[in-house]
Structure formats: structure tokens, C-alpha cells
């Protein structure tokens, strides 16, 4: 109705000025999305265009003028958690998400909030969300804003008012599914995947009618219980690549990011995550591929039927999800015009596939020090695993780590330079120690790691510097880096934006937003945002001025486990333009060191040690490794009152509504006591 009224108003006031503004306010339909490339002032889709280039034709900010870029405005989003969203911009309005799947409509010129929508995701679900309460953004289509929520709902809102239009439950609320990805639009359908392979769910992708919210199709990524029959031939074929009773743990293979659509081929592409458990030997699958986990999958948009698949990591043993962003480009390779789809995979290899057929075209490592595979088969792309990559149920030391050589942080492609700009993670290692007696337990994570493992492999990496980030300009035809910039030990990259101004923008975990010359990687500009950046910058125009905007907010698994290091504490959207002179005043954050705790427990050294192991296994994912926390409460500072209520909080769930779930099904009172003794011990050690 609103759109009909708007069209009517335009028809009445038919003068040239108004006509042009009416055209700019045109409804976002399939035609407008297909021609998003020409809509230079807007950013209508996750990757800006269907091919996910994240390349803007705007060039007011360019390699000559970028030095004059300054802050125009910033807006606090009232969160200390990670921010990962790509803001979408339609005609002067920013639509984005923050923590807990909350949606914001913000004036793109002033930063004033027009409306917010809080889906009120139950905070106690935080236990079953592996990697922070993040969300990567919304989709826009025909006057609606679509968001997937942490508790598995797909919601349509009115774009003008933020009022609820429809809700679809896309997952079983009794299972540990979650959604962190942005929905994608494909021919009148809203496509959404889910997450949860670290806990044990069966992955799938669903498509809903954008108008009504009625489900059009659902395609599973792994087979279910064979005794209940198979949904398709493709799933029946996949079942032959599994052993044991995999369906008890769900199987995994969740499509939690990396979704794309080619409207010409009418194919939807998505990547899938790890199998459950992470470890091949625990799945009883020492020689099996476990289709379609750790794969890039193409399905027909009209019905969700499998078109092709390419498995990047057969029989994955290292959490090498293939869920990184998928980027399409038509390239001339070996004298042939190829319709390609590309991915810089967690496993450290950059893949170029034929997106019509799934044929492997080429692949090469885009980070140094990949230890799990020596290379890819030139014809099939199948990896050649090294001797040290897998040793049954014994621990192995592998690079890249489960965060990957590249994760969800979007890359960009510049048609002007021909390079793909990859925010890579380098210098990562991980000891994968399977727990030989692992059994599926629906009340906890089902990675299958041995929390008590304390073997010699850790000592091999004890003195290694922390991981860092590379911005890599990757030539996808030659499969080699054209240039590469390293951010220094401990500094990781956020997502990337490329522009026709011969610029590449990227944020870093130390809160610095940078612009590089796209052709050669020369650093041209930087600004401090006061908070670590994970999200990708975007660019748009309002009233003829070009703006660069990014969400700054550090978190995710590294942010929560890694402790306070000057990166975390706030969440905000910051926006820059030529001549901007606003100032950013980050509120003070951090502590000088905890005071001596006001109580103590009778605890033996053995109990404190056990408490430390339990803490790092069960608590550190949110409250920081060795009890040095980042965005969430640092328990070394816990008050006497908190310690007096400790068991009630941890087992009784008395703080569940603020995101501290009950661990009643996971820890015994004696174990909680040991954890408390460890926290008090750490507080005494750190007291100043």
C-alpha cells in the first residue's frame, strides 16, 4: 500500500525535478537488483551487485582526493559485542543490523536513527551461538527489509516504518540452530541458511516467498536418518559417503554465510560448513568424503534441486567450512571466456570454478604456510593431504587454524585492476586433539575436542607470534598475489571495499580504517575508529557527496576469547566524506588491573588446576582465555555478591535473561566450585 501511495503521489506531481526523485525512489524489484551496478549512489545488496564484487563505480573519493577524507558522523549502536554487518543504502537511508539481530534504519547523511526493530532474541540461547551474537545484515526487496535472527526466524519488516510484516520459523527452536547471515534475494524468493555444526544440527538452505513468507523449498546439505527415506537423489548419493550413525549428531554442513545468486543462470550458490564432529575419526569416516560438507553447492533457484557441487575439503578434519563469500566474474582464462565463481577458502586455497558446471578451473594457496595439503589435483581440484595433516584420533598441528586463511569477512573484486582483494589471516596454527571417547551430547558443543589434552604439540607453537592479517591483491587468472600488505602480529583484517577511485578500503582489528591504492597497495589514508573493525566498508552518495561507512565493533570468537587488548568495548557506525571534520570521542574503556578479591575459597592447587581447564573449555569462549575477558564481564573483577551467588548464576541460570545461560546440564556443583576457585586465584595473581 505504501508503495502504491508513493507512486500515486509521484504521478500527481509530475515535474522534472520530482520525477527524478521519484525514479530514485523506485521500488527495489528484480530489474532494479539486476541493474544495481548502474545504481552508483546506492548499495542495494549484500555484495552490492549479484556478482558480489563489492566494487563501487563512485570516484569522488579517489587516489588523489582520499587524503581529505574526514569523519562526517558516528552513531553508537549500544553494544559491546562484535559488529559484522554490511549496511545497505537505498536513497539516503542505511539499513543495517547490530548485535542480537536488531535492525536499524539510519539517515545516511546525518546518522539520525529513523527506526529500530528488536526481534528480542532469547539471550539464554547464547550458549548455542559459537561465534558471538552477530548478524551480517539485511536484504531489501519490494518495500521490505528482511533479517534472519539468532534464534532461527526469518522476519520481513516494512522498510518505511520498521513494522513487522511476516515471520517464518526457519529452524526447530529445540535444536541448536542459529542464523547470523544476511538473507539473499533470488527471483522473488528470500534465501536463508543457518548455523550450528559445532553443536550438532543438520544443515539446510530454505527459500521463502518474499511477499508472503511461505516456504518455497528447502534443500538439505547432508543426509538424515536413512530409515526415514531420502529427500532427493542427491541426498541419497551423499549418504553413501558417510559411515556410522552420523544422523544422531545431525551431520552438520550448515550454510552459515557465503550465499550468491546468478540471475542469468538462475542458480543459487552456497558454501557449507564442517561435519559434526569436527574429527573424521570420531565420525567413523576415516576414508569418506561426507558430502556435501565443506563444499560449494549450486542449486536451481526455482526449486532448490542440486545443479552441481564442488567439495573443497573432502572428509574435513580441521573445521574448514567453505562458507566464505562467493564472488562471480566472467574472465578470459586460457583463451576461453569463463563464467567463474571464486572463493578464498578457510583451508588456505583460492578456488576458481566454472559457475555453470562446477568444473574446477584452478586453485592455489593464497597464504603462506599451509601445512594440511601440499597442493590440489590439477584436473579435479582435490587436495593432496600431507603426512602431518591427519593421524586418526591422535592430535595434529595444522595451519590454517579453524578461523581460516580467510573467513566470512567479505573480499572485493575490481574490474579495473582485475584483482580480488582478500582479507587474509596469516601465521595461524591449531592443535586438533580429538577426544577419543566423544559421544554426541545435545546439551553441549559437539566439536569433539579433548579439553584435557596437554601434549607436546602445544609447545611447538608456544613461542609463535599471534596471527596477523594480510590484504592480498590476488590475480585470479594467474593464481598469484600481485601485491600483499601485512598488518603486523596480532592485527587482523575486516572486510574489504574496492572503488573506481583506484582505492581499496579495509578496517583492522586495532580499529584503524585504511585506504590503499588498488593498483599497487600504497597506503594513502587512515583513520582511527576507536574499536576493532570486522565488518566491510560500503560507499554511497547523498545529494552528490560520496560517503564511506563502516560498522566498528570488535568481537566474534577471537574477540571474546582473546581478552581486552584495546580492540573492544563499543559498537558504532562511522561515516566519512571529503571535508568531514567531526570528531570521535570513544568513551574510556578497560581496567587498570583487578583489586585483591574480597573473598577466598578453600581450594587445593589440584582443584584450581582443574578449574582452569574447565574454565578454558567452558567459559573462555565468552569470558576470555585464562579469565582475561574482552567485551563480556572479566570475572577477575567479580564482586563479593557475584561470588556469593556464583552457583546460582552458573547452574541456576539467574542471569539467563542477560545472556549468561545455565550450565546445569554441563557442569556439576563440584566443577563450578573448582571454576570459582580458579577465577579467585586468577584475580589474586592479577591484582594490582
- Contact positions vs Ca ion (CB under 5 A): 273-274, 319, 321
441 Cβ contact partners less than 8 Å away, ≥ 6 residues apart: none
Q: Which among 509, 562, 559 has a CA at the least distance from the CA of 133?
A: 559
85 φψ region: left (φ > 0), alpha (ψ -120 to 50), beta (else) = beta
Q: Looking at beta carbons only, is 273 or 495 nearer to Ca ion?
A: 273
Q: Looking at beta carbons only, is 314 or 611 nearer to Ca ion?
A: 314
- Closest distance to Ca ion from the beta carbon of 316 (Å): 9
Catalytic residue among 289, 319, 470, 634: 319
Q: Looking at beta carbons only, is 318 or 505 nearer to Ca ion?
A: 318
- Closest distance to Ca ion from the beta carbon of 321 (Å): 4
Q: Give the phi and the psi of residue 477 in degrees, each rounded to 5.
A: -80, -50
Q: Which among 380, 446, 207, 451 has a CA at the least distance from the CA of 305?
A: 207
Q: Looking at beta carbons only, is 438 or 483 nearer to Ca ion?
A: 438
Q: Which among 189, 316, 205, 288 has a CA at the least distance from the CA of 254?
A: 205
Q: Cα dist. 184→128, 326, 525 in Å?
A: 24, 13, 33
Q: Looking at beta carbons only, is 85 or 130 nearer to Ca ion?
A: 130
Cβ count near 334 (within 10 Å): 8
- Closest distance to Ca ion from the beta carbon of 47 (Å): 22
Distance CA 669, CA 183 (A): 42
- Closest distance to Ca ion from the beta carbon of 62 (Å): 39
- Closest distance to Ca ion from the beta carbon of 203 (Å): 10
Distance CA 659, CA 654 (A): 10
Any alpha helices (H) in 197-289, and if so which ranges? Answer: 233-239
Q: Cα dist. 487→348, 506, 513 in Å?
A: 18, 11, 12
Q: Looking at beta carbons only, is 52 or 445 nearer to Ca ion?
A: 445
Q: Which residue has the cell 585464562?
A: 626
- Closest distance to Ca ion from the beta carbon of 273 (Å): 4
Q: Give the phi and the psi of residue 337 in degrees, each rounded to 5.
A: -80, 120
- Closest distance to Ca ion from the beta carbon of 252 (Å): 8
What are 288's three cell numbers?
569418506
Provide the β-strand partners of residue 206: 192, 218
- Closest distance to Ca ion from the beta carbon of 319 (Å): 5
Distance CA 239, CA 220 (A): 12
- Closest distance to Ca ion from the beta carbon of 130 (Å): 7
Q: Where are the beta strands (DSSP E) in 427-560?
A: 430-432, 468-475, 480-486, 493-499, 503-508, 512-517, 523-528, 538-542, 545-552
- Closest distance to Ca ion from the beta carbon of 449 (Å): 12
Residue 276 in contact with residue 446, Cβ under 8 Å? yes
Q: Looking at beta carbons only, is 143 or 273 nearer to Ca ion?
A: 273
Q: Looking at beta carbons only, is 319 or 610 nearer to Ca ion?
A: 319
Q: Which among 575, 574, 560, 583 has a CA at the least distance from the CA of 80?
A: 560
Residue 535 in contact with residue 495, Cβ under 8 Å? yes
23 Cβ contact partners less than 8 Å away, ≥ 6 residues apart: none
Q: Looking at beta carbons only, is 560 or 680 nearer to Ca ion?
A: 560
The DSSP-derived string for 128-155 is G-TT-S-----EEETTEEEEE-TTSEEE
Q: Looking at beta carbons only, is 126 or 447 nearer to Ca ion?
A: 447
For the CA atoms of 408, 409, 413, 418, the dihedral, rounded to the nearest 10 degrees, stands at -90
533 φψ region: left (φ > 0), alpha (ψ -120 to 50), beta (else) = beta
Check if 319 is active-site.
yes
Catalytic residues, by residue number, are 319
Amino acid at each position: 500500500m505504501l508503495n502504491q501511495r508513493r507512486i500515486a503521489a509521484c504521478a500527481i506531481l509530475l515535474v522534472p525535478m520530482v520525477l527524478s526523485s521519484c525514479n530514485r525512489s523506485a521500488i527495489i524489484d528484480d530489474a532494479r537488483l539486476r541493474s544495481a551496478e548502474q545504481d552508483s549512489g546506492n548499495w542495494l545488496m549484500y555484495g552490492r551487485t549479484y556478482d558480489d564484487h563489492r566494487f563501487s563505480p563512485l570516484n569522488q573519493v579517489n587516489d588523489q582526493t582520499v587524503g581529505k577524507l574526514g569523519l562526517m558522523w558516528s552513531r553508537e549502536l549500544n553494544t559491546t559485542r562484535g559488529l559484522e554487518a554490511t549496511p545497505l543504502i537505498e536513497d539516503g537511508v542505511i539499513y543495517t543490523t547490530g548485535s542480537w539481530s536488531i535492525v536499524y534504519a539510519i539517515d545516511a547523511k546525518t546518522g539520525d536513527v529513523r527506526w529500530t526493530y528488536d526481534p528480542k532474541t532469547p539471550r539464554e540461547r547464547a550458549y548455542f551461538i559459537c561465534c558471538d551474537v552477530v548478524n551480517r545484515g539485511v536484504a531489501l526487496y519490494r518495500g521490505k527489509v528482511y533479517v534472519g535472527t539468532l534464534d532461527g526466524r526469518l522476519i520481513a519488516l516494512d522498510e518505511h516504518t520498521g513494522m513487522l510484516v511476516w515471520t517464518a520459523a526457519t529452524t526447530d527452536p529445540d535444536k541448536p540452530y542459529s542464523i547470523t547471515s544476511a538473507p539473499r534475494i533470488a527471483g522473488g524468493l528470500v534465501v536463508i541458511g543457518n548455523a550450528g555444526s559445532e553443536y550438532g544440527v543438520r544443515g539446510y538452505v530454505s527459500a521463502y516467498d518474499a511477499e508472503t513468507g511461505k516456504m518455497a523449498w528447502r534443500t538439505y546439505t547432508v543426509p538424515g536418518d536413512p530409515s526415514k527415506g531420502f529427500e532427493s537423489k542427491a541426498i541419497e548419493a551423499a549418504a553413501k559417503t558417510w559411515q556410522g550413525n552420523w544422523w544422531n549428531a545431525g551431520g552438520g554442513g550448515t550454510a552459515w554465510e557465503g550465499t550468491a545468486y546468478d540471475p542469468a543462470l538462475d542458480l543459487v550458490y552456497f558454501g557449507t560448513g564442517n561435519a559434526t564432529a569436527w574429527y573424521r575419526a570420531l565420525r567413523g569416516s576415516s576414508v569418506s568424503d561426507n558430502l556435501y560438507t565443506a563444499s560449494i553447492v549450486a542449486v536451481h533457484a526455482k526449486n532448490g534441486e542440486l545443479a552441481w557441487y564442488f567439495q573443497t575439503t573432502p572428509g574435513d578434519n580441521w573445521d574448514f567450512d567453505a562458507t566464505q563469500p562467493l564472488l562471480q566474474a566472467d574472465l578470459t582464462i586460457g583463451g576461453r571466456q569463463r563464467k567463474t565463481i571464486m572463493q578464498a577458502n578457510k583451508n588456505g586455497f583460492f578456488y576458481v570454478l566454472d559457475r555453470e558446471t562446477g568444473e574446477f578451473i584452478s586453485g592455489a594457496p593464497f597464504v603462506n604456510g599451509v601445512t594440511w595439503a601440499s597442493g590440489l589435483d590439477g584436473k579435479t581440484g582435490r587436495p593432496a593431504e600431507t603426512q602431518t595433516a591427519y593421524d586418526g584420533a591422535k592430535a595434529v598441528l595444522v595451519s590454517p587454524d579453524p578461523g581460516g586463511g580467510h573467513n566470512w569477512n567479505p573480499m572485493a573484486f575490481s574490474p579495473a585492476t582485475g584483482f580480488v582483494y582478500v582479507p587474509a589471516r596469516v601465521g595461524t596454527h591449531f592443535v586438533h586433539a580429538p577426544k577419543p571417547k566423544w559421544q554426541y551430547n545435545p546439551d553441549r558443543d559437539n566439536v569433539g575436542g579433548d579439553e584435557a589434552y596437554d601434549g607436546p604439540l602445544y609447545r611447538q607453537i608456544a613461542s609463535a607470534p599471534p596471527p596477523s592479517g594480510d590484504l592480498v591483491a590476488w590475480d585470479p587468472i594467474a593464481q598469484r598475489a600481485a601485491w600483499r600488505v601485512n598488518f603486523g602480529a596480532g592485527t587482523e583484517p575486516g572486510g574489504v571495499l574496492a572503488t573506481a577511485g583506484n582505492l581499496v578500503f579495509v578496517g583492522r582489528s586495532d580499529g584503524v580504517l585504511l585506504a590503499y591504492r588498488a593498483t599497487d597497495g600504497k597506503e594513502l589514508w587512515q583513520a582511527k575508529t576507536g574499536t576493532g573493525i570486522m565488518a566491510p566498508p560500503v560507499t554511497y552518495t547523498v545529494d552528490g557527496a560520496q560517503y564511506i561507512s563502516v560498522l566498528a565493533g570488535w568481537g566474534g570468537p577471537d574477540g571474546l576469547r582473546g581478552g581486552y587488548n584495546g580492540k573492544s568495548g563499543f559498537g558504532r557506525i562511522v561515516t566519512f566524506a571529503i571535508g568531514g571534520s567531526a570528531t570521535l570521542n570513544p568513551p574510556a574503556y578497560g581496567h587498570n588491573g583487578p583489586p585483591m578479591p574480597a573473598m577466598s575459597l578453600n581450594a587445593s592447587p589440584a582443584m584450581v588446576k582443574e578449574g582452569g581447564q574447565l574454565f578454558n573449555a567452558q567459559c573462555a569462549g565468552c569470558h576470555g582465555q585464562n579469565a582475561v575477558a574482552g567485551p563480556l564481564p572479566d570475572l577477575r573483577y567479580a564482586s563479593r555478591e557475584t561470588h556469593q551467588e556464583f552457583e546460582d548464576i552458573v547452574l541456576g541460570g539467574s542471569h539467563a535473561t542477560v545472556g549468561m545461560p545455565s550450565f546445569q546440564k554441563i557442569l556439576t556443583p563440584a566443577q563450578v566450585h573448582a571454576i570459582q576457585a580458579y577465577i579467585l586465584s586468577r584475580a589474586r595473581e592479577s591484582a594490582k
